[in-house]
Structure 1
């Protein structure tokens, strides 16, 4: 008797494959997946700046993890701290090297996404994005209630 595969299993398998492909692509430009996620958080910031707390929230990690990532990325020349009006807040920006890294990494990410969506029509691709967004918002709301 053939067992039907549930959505969670499919999502897990797809996530694993995408994560492995992404890690290989990022390694070519000297980044880890976590570092790419930090850089991506700048794309979603309003003014191009980020704080350690903002990175912590964007990546859903503990403060020491976010601080460690920022320090390692500063040593690599990808990020730099800038003076803030509030000395308790650590304001961070991307360096030129950080912008170059995101440009190179995004090319690889786009190629991975095109492989993911290759078997879908344009309409199916839009529907897929719509459904992913709907599921994500549902999970995000549920997660917010548990805090």
Structure 2
């Protein structure tokens, strides 16, 4: 389906802009939210775990975590290995997560309002498959 990626990319940037606007009240950006969301979903996590999830370099995650520490939303806890940094949400971070989650859910509901549940479900199931194809290099195969 030619043009699929162009359509996807044309919605990605405005969506990130909208998310950044929503989170600016909390001094957050979408990239900082990704760290909070990962920790909330997976529990205390290492920088490597978070970097691997979002396919970014560890120094990028380190900078994000430092910013979240400055905002007192995350803190380091002892890990199995002294060299390994394990990060968890603070109580304040949990509160911010809940506030942002509510705002993001409201945004999701508003942008999906005129789209049938069946179409939403198909999209929800299809996007991870596309991501997997890109990640494992299967996107170029034809049957």
- Residue 95 in structure 1 maps to residue 82 in structure 2: no
SS in 2 for 1:81: strand
| TM-fit CA distance, 1:55 | 1.8
Matches within 5 A, 1:1-147: 6-45=3-42, 48-142=43-137
After superposition, give the CA deviation of every residue in 1:115-137 in whole Å (9 maximum; x if it has no partner): 22112111221112122222222
* Distance (Å, rounded) in 1 between the aligned partners of 2:126 and 2:60: 31
SS in 2 for 1:44: helix
Q: Which one has more relative contact order, counting CA pairs under 8 Å at least 6 apart? A: 1
* Distance (Å, rounded) in 2 between the aligned partners of 1:88 and 1:128: 41
Q: Which runs of 5+ in 1 are unaligned?
A: none
* Distance (Å, rounded) in 2 between the aligned partners of 1:133 and 1:43: 20
After superposition, give the CA deviation of every residue in 1:26-81 in whole Å (9 maximum; x if it has no partner): 10222111110001111332xx1111111221222222221111111111101111
* Distance (Å, rounded) in 1 between the aligned partners of 2:30 and 2:125: 25
| TM-fit CA distance, 1:16 | 1.2
**Is the 8 Å Cα contact of residues 19 and 29 (structure 2) preserved in structure 1?**
no
**Is the 8 Å Cα contact of residues 29 and 104 (structure 1) preserved in structure 2?**
no
Q: Which runs of 5+ in 2 are unaligned?
A: 139-143
| TM-fit CA distance, 1:85 | 2.7
TM-score by length of 1: 0.85
CA RMSD of aligned residues (A): 1.6
